[in-house]
Amino acid sequence: MKTQQTACPKLFIGIDIHKRSWKVHCSTDLSGGRTFSMPPDPGKLFEYVERHYPDYDVSTAYEAGCCGYSAHRAFVGYGWSSLVVNPADIFRKGKERHTKTDRIDAQLIARELKDGRLEGIVVLDRCREQLRSLFRRRNDLVKDMRQIKSYIKMQLLYCGIVVPEEFDNDHWSHGFRDWLDGLEFEYDAGKEVLHSRMRTFRFVDQEFRDVSTLLRRHTKAHFKKGYMLLRSIPGIGPIVASGILSELGDLRRFNNIKQLAGYVGLAPGIYQSGDAMRHTGVSMRAHRLIRSYFIEASWQAIRTDPVMQGYYRRHRGKNVKSVIVKVARKLLSRTLAVIKTGVPYEIGVVE
């Protein structure tokens, strides 16, 4: 009797991606497969699969990292199923936690992919991805600004120079900058060091302003509807709105506030053993940058919105840090609501 194949054979490819080389493990639904190294080129992997595994249903997975999503987009273009996964989501047995090599990582990814235990992260479209790069560039400049300010104040402290009381604050006014430019030192070397740092400060300050302007402009140009909806919420300014749209992607993919709060990191951590259960504060697994922005925005929200202010006052007397996290979660709930409904928020209206 002639036999006929009724099911399409499946190929599972786990890849440990690096800049200079990939470690690849190919496993079929019937065999364990093999592991090999190859150049970091999706086209060469496609040629290998076409040569050795023609007519297979191909699934690939690799860990999210510095190499981005270009390989994922290439695999999808070949008609393959592709996942980019969070490294922390790859299950390791006890002994596997103590030995880590590229070969083992590729084999683990292929094994988890074959067993159906992997869940991919959301890959942003190119427009939103590049907007996110602009948003992160702004945050890099914030760190650079903070650092150069610290260097300048460190030099003043080291040299025993007292900052006038009207300038001794976080706001570096033009008057303070002129005062710094006019400082005299006993020797030219000290003055040149300060002038060099002031040139760096002015360069970073101008870059910061330019990038902030570009960020607002690009967000309004490509995501105007979502941007205007978010701007209607008290506490959410142009930068926070741009960060939400670029870092979190399309919020409509979250089914409820519990999922979004867990992703951002505004969900409580719980530890239970037997009858004993305690809360461990906010979850350690979080999008730390966006969480910090929401907590910062919450302070502004309680100043401008009577409803949020009343919510904050009802919890007065408790730990201030715990209360502001509660406010931040409420602000996050509003964010999800306005995006899902498409209706701007009205100040003072009870939800």
Cα 308 from Cα 331, distance rounded (Å): 8
What pLDDT, on a 0 to 100 scale, did the predictor assign at position 1? 47
The answer on 244 and 215 residing in a single domain is no
Domain count, the chain: 3
User: What pLDDT does 113 receive?
Assistant: 94
Residue 1 domain-assigned (yes or no): no
**Within a domain: 139:** yes
Q: Which H, E and C letters describe 213-276, residue by residue? A: HHHHHHHHHHCHHHHHHHHCCCCCCHHHHHHHHHHCCCHHHCCCHHHHHHHHCCCEEEEEECCE
Is 228 among the domain residues? no
* 192-221 mean pLDDT: 96
The widest CA-to-CA distance across the chain, in whole angstroms, is: 102
Same domain, 246 and 311: yes
In a domain, 230, yes or no: no
**One domain for residues 72 and 131:** no
Q: Are strands 34-38 and 22-28 parallel, antiparallel or unpaired?
A: antiparallel
d(CA 242, CA 230): 9
Domain check: are 183 and 261 in the same one? no
- Over residues 52-62, the pLDDT tens digits come to 999 899 999 99
293-320 CB burial, b ≥16 within 10 A, e <16: bbbebbebbbeebebbeebbeeeeeeee
Residue 282: the pLDDT is 72
Higher pLDDT, 6 or 141: 141
Q: Is residue 131 part of a domain?
A: yes
In a shared domain, residues 142 and 104: no
**Residue 20 pLDDT exceeds 60:** yes
Owning domain of residue 86? 10-114
For residues 302-307, average pLDDT: 90
Pair (85, 132) in one structural domain: no
Q: Give tens-digit pLDDT for 274-289.
A: 666 666 667 777 888 9
pLDDT in tens, 212-240: 999 999 999 999 999 999 999 999 999 99
Last residue of a domain, one of 114, 146, 176: 114
Closest-CA residue to 16 (of 79, 65, 53): 65
- Domain-embedded: residue 168: yes
* Average pLDDT value over all residues in the chain: 90
Do 209 and 181 fall within a single domain?
A: yes
- CB 55 within 8 Å of CB 9: yes
Residues 217 and 242 in one domain: no
Based on the domain organization, do 91 and 65 belong to the same domain? Answer: yes
Query: What pLDDT, in 10s, does the model give residues 149-159?
Result: 999 999 999 99
Within a domain: residue 232? no
Task: Give the CATH number, domain containing residue 45.
Answer: 3.30.420.40
Burial class (CB in 10 A: 0-12, 13-18, 19+), 288: exposed
Please tell me whether residue 16 adopts helix, strand or coil conformation.
Answer: strand
Last residue of one domain, picked from the residues 114, 138, 158: 114
Give the model confidence (pLDDT) of 146-196 as tens digits: 999 999 999 999 999 999 999 988 889 999 999 999 999 999 999 999 999
What are the tens digits of pLDDT across the range 24-74? Answer: 999 998 887 889 999 999 999 999 999 999 989 999 999 998 899 999 999
Contact 270, 245 (CB under 8 A): no
Per residue in 82-95, pLDDT tens?
999 999 888 888 77
Query: Is there a single domain that holds both residue 66 and residue 105?
Result: yes
pLDDT tens string 244-263:
999 999 999 999 999 999 99
**215 and 137 assigned to the same domain:** yes
User: Is 4 a domain residue?
Assistant: no
Out of 189, 222, 255, a domain closes at 222
